[in-house]
Amino acid sequence: MIIIIDAGSQYTHLIKRNFRDMDKEAEIVNAREPYENVKEKIEDAERIVLSGGPSSVFNDKDSLVRIISEKLKAGEISAPLLGICYGHQMIADVWGAKVDKGKSAEYGVSEITVDNEDIILKGMPEKFKAWVSHFDEVKELPEGFEALAHSETCGIEAMRHKESPVFAVQFHPEVWHTENGDRILENFAKV
């Protein structure tokens, strides 16, 4: 079972639909749910996705997105993890990197350049269009991570932990605006 932590993104249902189209079972869990209520699901998860959402790492101290990131960093959860947008920022924040306001807060299409396809971007073109929001963005890599992609406005559009199966993207692979975005989710489903 893939557990998708819904941090309030308007696109969370598309993540689930993408996995369903791959014949992967997925369940959406609200990020405001107390951890104890979903602890067993989280610990038994085959994979975990942290969705995007309107929250900010600066004022969101008790959501499941933060709790799961902290537990994964502490080694209490071992499932592969994918952070999308806000999830990407939370992973960076929990691992000690700088997250700050981006140059542009609006949603829009941006060109992403792949620097290292690694596992998560395998098979993606060297440059592709993606649906992004840079209200907040990761300004420096967390310790133990490597950058996988960048854009003109954001130096870390995708990253991964060098040893653990932790991946994160600033953009939204689940929406049709992102070219071949479903391939990123397929790659994650194979980790």
Which fold would CATH assign to domain 2-189?
Rossmann fold (3.40.50)
pTM for this entry: 0.94
Per DSSP bridges, beta strands 136-138 and 99-101 are: antiparallel
Q: With a cut of 60, say whether residue 105 has pLDDT above it.
A: no
Dihedral sign computed on CA atoms, order 94, 136, 169, 65: positive
Q: Classify the C-alpha dihedral 106-97-141-28 as positive or negative.
A: negative
Q: Residue 102: which of 121, 127, 85 has the closest Cα?
A: 85
Please indicate whether residue 174 is annotated as part of the active site: yes
User: Which of 85, 88, 134, 161 is an active site residue?
Assistant: 85
Confidence band for 98, pLDDT divided at 50, 70 and 90: confident
Residue ranges covered by each domain of the chain: 2-189
Q: Are 131 and 175 in contact (CB under 8 A)?
A: yes
pLDDT of residue 57: 81
pLDDT in tens, 30-50: 999 999 999 999 999 999 999
pLDDT score, position 58: 77
pLDDT recorded at residue 159 = 97
Q: Answer whether residue 102 shows pLDDT above 80.
A: no
- 103: confidence class by pLDDT, cuts 50, 70, 90: low
Residue of 137, 174, 179, 186 marked catalytic: 174
Per-residue pLDDT tens for 134-184? 677 888 999 999 999 999 888 999 999 999 999 999 999 998 888 999 999
Is 134 assigned a catalytic role? Answer: no
Give yes or no: 85 in active site. yes
The whole-number pLDDT of residue 63 equals: 84
Question: Are 184 and 83 spatial neighbours (Cβ–Cβ below 8 Å)?
Answer: no
Catalytic residue among 88, 157, 172, 179: 172
